[in-house]
Amino acid sequence: MRAAEHWSQAAGGGYAASTPKNMAVHGSDIATMNYQQWLDFTFGSAPGEPWQPYGNYRCSDSWRLLGYLDTLFTRPLPALHRYTTEQLERGLWFIPSAKGYLWCWLDTNISSSKRAACVRSALNFHACLDGLLPDAMALHMWWDSVLAYTQYEGRSILEDRDIFSTVVAAIALFLHNSQPRVRLAGEEGAERLLLILEKTKDKRLGAASRVFQRAGLDWERYARRSLLVDSMRGQLC
């Protein structure tokens, strides 16, 4: 089954005025691209080419998009070796952005098990890229971006019970990981999620806190960050 058509607009409220060369060749619908064409669209921007048009696409088949993401996350190498560090960084910022691809995690036309498997595969993606891009801020801030920007038809990750639970479990796996930078991405994501739950007085705060503590979250660091956020919020009010 094909999901409802999804348009992603470029930043600024309108569609991008220009189109990347690879998009002009392959058309604007991801459903018309094969996997290599999709990789080139995501990561293959030429040096100096504007980043903004990346958000100008539509997807009439979210099953295909989810499949491409799952393939990328489970087998990122050697496919990504053909791109420069700059190209990879830009693509990594784009994927979980407001104009990116992760909205398909919330498309209920796709089975929850397929969507959850793609969420979990993000761990392998990070572990593989850790050596290729050791200083990539986009990887460090991955879960921050996911939690801030992933929406579909007015719903966020917090409003999809199955995907919310999978995201909590996935972040816990990041916290368990032996690679320091992967663990840091997990800490950033856990702290971000707990702050959101705390701010919204979400009843799932306690359960998520226990999962993250068992996974090794530095609770004192989170508590300090929580107090700092409260203090800044008080000053702004």
- What digits encode the pLDDT tens for the residues 191-214? 999 999 999 999 999 999 999 999
- CA pair distance 190, 144, nearest whole angstrom: 9
Mean pLDDT of the residues in the chain:
83
pLDDT: which is higher, 227 or 183:
183
- CA pair distance 106, 111, nearest whole angstrom: 10
Q: Helix H segments across the chain?
A: 21-26, 35-43, 62-74, 85-94, 112-120, 122-132, 137-140, 142-149, 161-176, 180-199, 205-215, 219-236
| Confidence category of residue 13, pLDDT binned at 50, 70, 90 | very low
| Confidence category of residue 28, pLDDT binned at 50, 70, 90 | confident
- C-beta atoms surrounding 77 within 10 Å: 10
| Confidence category of residue 10, pLDDT binned at 50, 70, 90 | very low
Residue 233 pLDDT > 80, yes or no? no
- CA pair distance 55, 16, nearest whole angstrom: 8
With a pLDDT cut of 70, the percent of the chain lying above it is 79
Q: What pLDDT score was predicted for residue 50? A: 59
> Can you give the residue ranges of every domain in the chain?
6-236
Residue 14 pLDDT > 70, yes or no? no
Model confidence pLDDT, tens digit, residues 67-125: 999 999 999 998 898 899 888 998 999 999 998 999 999 999 999 999 999 999 999 99
Model confidence pLDDT, tens digit, residues 32-44: 999 999 998 898 8
pLDDT: which is higher, 52 or 37:
37
| Confidence category of residue 46, pLDDT binned at 50, 70, 90 | low
- CA pair distance 177, 127, nearest whole angstrom: 9
Q: What pLDDT score was predicted for residue 6? A: 58
